[in-house]
Structure 1
């Protein structure tokens, strides 16, 4: 149980809750730790947030972290159910040492690894044709010649046009495409053999199949499986040692979801983007790739948690709940978020367990009523 007090004065009409904030613990994991005051954060909205969580039953929030000006200033954890590949594995008191299932926030990591593969020369560019990497599947082109036009950019922007349905039925249904993917002897061929429902590049449709092909392209181009590639070129430089990718079958990594990381390490990834691709003086991603990643290649209205655009596997916001907002986010099922707020020099990370329950506190509310008022400059 969290402990709160009420700060009052004779003129106060609405007493403000206070919370005994302490700086996050210094662990030598690469984060500089300072107080909220040191970076000019208003702690009143955060105290209100903590009070609301303490008085909300089954909020299912597992962690909240704030990076401001490159420093870890706020870190809180809450008990909840561990979750892995659609299974609950028991309640735990989450802390900074626990990895968490990122669900579809994984996609933003896979996109970044494509950018790194291009920078390292393994891939020419995102305009390269998908079937360049899969000569063993070119027989599929005789049945559908237009597939020759499919590029990495189409996969990155979710505009491949490939038929895919993992939403209308349960993942446990044998007819569900995700279920079929995990039971396929050749997962990539299963995806590439799908028919087009739209010409490539014309229609945005958020589909897990696109990202999983990207991961296998990295393996074919670099001769490194995605988990090995990510460790060598991304995680090791960020000082991330505790991570886990899930497998589909054989050597195929499941890279559209279920990557497990500590929330502190999720925040490192967000700050890498906020800081122009540089971590502690070492460049990992090019500024050009970051700009492409957070550019609105697809624009829409209120598609996913009020998002209004999609980049290279990043969700984009211009406003939320009527509040002007310049932000981009890695987002995953159940309430997994890495949100970058460039105008406030802030990265906000949340993990949660709203997998099969309605959210008691939406990300829109958390951002507009608590986080933005706290970090606004």
Structure 2
């Protein structure tokens, strides 16, 4: 699997500095086991923002991007009640009376890729909030400090 991802995704995005951890069965573990640099996280977000295209070349299908971004599950028992797709969280922020939808990849310790289609923008925030109860701090920073600037 790692060779497939490297050949058909990472090489095309010019991503070479990454780690993909495996589970006990030696299968890739993407629920907190993939490490990318912030620059490469941004590339990944831009690939999805551009519906699977990178530098005008199709890397992943538009259909897959749409399918993975789709909200499949509304989450009622957690603070974020917006929903979840295929490894993408859905969130809606209110800025100046407007609802701004963000689709987010969230990683352990507060690693975030915010894809904001209505603003044609990708924002990456990395942090080291491991086991301290502050893993959602990037959402607060994004909502209070970054999004108002982008929205204007």
TM bucket normalised to smaller: 0.7 to 0.9
For residues 343 and 251 of structure 1, do their structure 2 counterparts lie closer, same or farther at Cα, with a shift above 3 Å needed?
same
- Counterpart of 1:343 in structure 2 is 118
- Counterpart of 2:45 in structure 1 is 270
Aligned partner of 1:286 among 61, 72, 76: 61
Q: Distance in 2 between the 1:366 and 1:247 partners? A: 31
Secondary structure of the 2:23 match is: strand
Alpha-carbon RMSD: 2.3
Aligned partner of 2:137 among 362, 372, 375: 362
Q: CA deviation at 1:250?
A: 5.6
- Counterpart of 1:121 in structure 2 is none
Gaps of 5+ in 1: 1-225
Deviations 1:259-288, CA, capped at 9 Å, x for gaps? 111110011000000011100111011111
Which aligned pairs between 1:30-45 and structure 2 lie closer than 5 A?
none
1:312 lines up with 2:86 in the alignment: yes
Q: CA deviation at 1:355?
A: 0.8
Secondary structure of the 1:365 match is: helix
Q: CA deviation at 1:365?
A: 2.3
Q: Distance in 2 between the 1:267 and 1:371 partners? A: 15
Deviations 1:284-328, CA, capped at 9 Å, x for gaps? 111111111111111234735x25111112100133698622110
Normalising by structure 2, what TM-score?
0.87
Deviations 1:23-49, CA, capped at 9 Å, x for gaps? xxxxxxxxxxxxxxxxxxxxxxxxxxx
For residues 366 and 311 of structure 1, do their structure 2 counterparts lie closer, same or farther at Cα, with a shift above 3 Å needed?
same
For residues 232 and 307 of structure 1, do their structure 2 counterparts lie closer, same or farther at Cα, with a shift above 3 Å needed?
farther
Contact 2:92 2:101 in 1 (8 A): yes
1:255 lines up with 2:30 in the alignment: yes
Q: Distance in 2 between the 1:320 and 1:300 partners? A: 19
Deviations 1:223-264, CA, capped at 9 Å, x for gaps? xxx211110110000000111111224642223222111110
Secondary structure of the 2:91 match is: strand
Q: Distance in 2 between the 1:251 and 1:302 partners? A: 33
Runs of 4+ in structure 1 over 4 Å off: 320-323
For residues 333 and 351 of structure 1, do their structure 2 counterparts lie closer, same or farther at Cα, with a shift above 3 Å needed?
same
Secondary structure of the 1:337 match is: strand
Tell me whether 364-373 or 354-363 shows the greater mean CA deviation: 354-363
Q: Distance in 1 between the 2:133 and 2:75 partners? A: 24
Contact 1:323 1:368 in 2 (8 A): no
Which aligned pairs between 1:78-157 and structure 2 lie closer than 5 A?
none
Secondary structure of the 1:255 match is: coil
